[in-house]
Structure 1
Amino acid sequence: MARVSQEHLDARRRQILNGAALCFARNGFHATSMQDVLKEVDLSAGAVYRYFSGKEELIGAIVAEVLETVRDVQECAARESPPPLPDVLIPRVLAQLREVKPGTLGNGEWVFPRLMIQVWTETLRNDELSALMTAGYVKVRAAWANLVESYKVAGLMPEDVDADAMARTMIALAQGFAAQVAVFGAASPEVLRDGLRALMSMGEPRVRP
């Protein structure tokens, strides 16, 4: 029997994760069965269970992958000289997530924002997922804070800026924009970029004559 290559195994795992993410985004975790996932990816139960024991493990793998992607983007950005400003970086994060979690629903809607809302809701009732999210969030927040330190080194902001406070704010911007897309419909990353640039352009009020 021919040995299955690692490339093939990785591609099959990616196929399952993408199909499961699409199912979860479409109908939610609890309304989605493993049979729905099998139908979506057009694989046998044995083929899928070789990689994942069930829905809980699929959800955990999707969440871990998203958090790792965000952290990687931040760590790479911190090594750039000068590091990209938030109006460039936050849309870049969303664009990278689009590549990692591709696919659209029937109306052309990108799956990630809806999936994010589903994960948040599930986290409130699933202690294991909550622990995974909390651990991942701490790492992501540290990566953003490290980026803020890079801004300071590059002379882009004062030394006394609270790096963690800014990290939390940048995360909130990305999450909030994704939540808007999930609830109110598609908006391009350029909208977020332009809004951030407008905010960043604010200065001291001019004295009227």
Structure 2
Amino acid sequence: MPRLTDARKELRRTQIAEAAVRCFSRNGLKRTSIADITAESGLSAGSIYAHYRNKADLVQAAARETLDKRDGTISEYAAADAPPSPDELLSRLIAAIDPAEARVGVQTWGESTTDPAIRDIVADTTDRMRAMVHDCVTAWLVKVEHHDPPHAREFATPIAHQVMALYQAELLYTALRTPAEETPS
């Protein structure tokens, strides 16, 4: 049997994580089984387990997959000659919210209150997202508002916190107003 290349392995992992997000969005974290993810992905259970040890690994992969999408976009914003203002950054982040990902995010937050492994995932992804937002706000303060970098980094901290809080509120709102039955799969 031929071995998978690293690129194929990564593609397969992404395929499985995306299938898991769709299942988690429809059924919830607790009610989704590996069999559901197997059926959704079109792969065998052996293939799933070759890439992920268990459902917790899939939850982590789904969270990271979503964050990686935001990472590239926010990094591009920060690198621009004129990064977006905090208001514009928030508007862009909100416009990019996927209802299925929002539902999975909210479910993950709920699970984090009782599951230490999930709590670590949520804390890590939230910290990474806040750091990316902080970097983008800092870049805006330096490049557009012409603050000196040390002052800009300090001044960006509470702004990034507010942008994150508003973004998370919008994620919750999106998750609550968009039932799984109403969204395309």
Give the structure-2-normalised TM-score: 0.81
Residues 4-40 of structure 1 deviation map (CA, whole Å, 9 limit, x = unaligned): 3334323222221111111111111111111111111
Q: Which runs of 4+ in 1 moved over 6 A?
A: none
| Residue 79 in structure 1 maps to residue 79 in structure 2 | yes
Give aligned pairs, total: 175
Question: Which structure has the bigger radius of gyration?
Answer: 1
Match of 2:28 in 1: 28
Distance 1:180 1:40 in 2: 27
Deviates more, 1:165-174 or 1:149-158: 149-158
Q: Is the 8 A contact 1:148 1:167 kept in 2?
A: yes
Give 1:79's aligned amino acid.
Answer: A
Kindly state the Cα deviation for residue 97 of structure 1 after the two structures are TM-superposed.
Answer: 6.0
Q: In structure 1, what is the equivalent of residue 139 of structure 2?
A: 150
Aligned AA (1:29): L
Maintained 8 Å contact 1:66/1:97:
no
Following superposition, the deviation at residue 132 of structure 1 comes to 2.5
CA deviation map 1:63-104 (0-9, x unaligned)? 122233333332321211111123443343355564xxxxxx
For residues 12 and 124 of structure 2, the distance between their equivalents in structure 1, rounded to whole angstroms, comes to 27
Point out the more displaced range, 60-69 or 110-119. 60-69
Identity of aligned residues (%): 27
CA distance in 2, matches of 1:85, 1:152: 8
Q: What is the rounded CA distance, in whole Å, between the counterparts of 1:171 and 1:58 in structure 2?
A: 24
Secondary structure in 2 aligned to 1:30? coil
Larger CA deviation: 117-126 vs 80-89: 80-89
Shift of 1:43: 1.6
Give the TM-score, by structure 1 length.
0.72
**Where does the alignment leave 5 or more consecutive residues of structure 2 unmatched?**
180-185
Q: Describe the shift of the 1:167–1:42 C-alpha distance in structure 2 as closer, same or farther (beyond 3 A).
A: same
Partner of 2:162: 169
The 5 A counterparts of 1:46-85 are 46-85=46-85
Q: What is the alpha-carbon distance in structure 2 between the residues aligned to residue 94 and residue 51 of structure 1?
A: 31
Aligned equivalents of 1:157, 1:169: Cα separation in 2: 21
One-letter identity of the residue aligned with 1:54: N
Q: What SS does structure 1 have at the residue aligned with 2:25? A: helix
Displacement after TM superposition at 1:164 (Å): 1.4
- Give how far 1:55 is off: 0.5
**What RMSD in Å do the two structures reach over aligned CA positions?**
2.5
* Structure 1 counterpart of 2:115: 126
> Does structure 1 retain, via aligned residues, the 8 Å contact 2:86–2:159?
no
The whole-number CA distance in structure 1 between the counterparts of 2:54 and 2:135 is 36
Aligned to 2:178: 185
The structure with the greater share of residues assigned to helix is 2
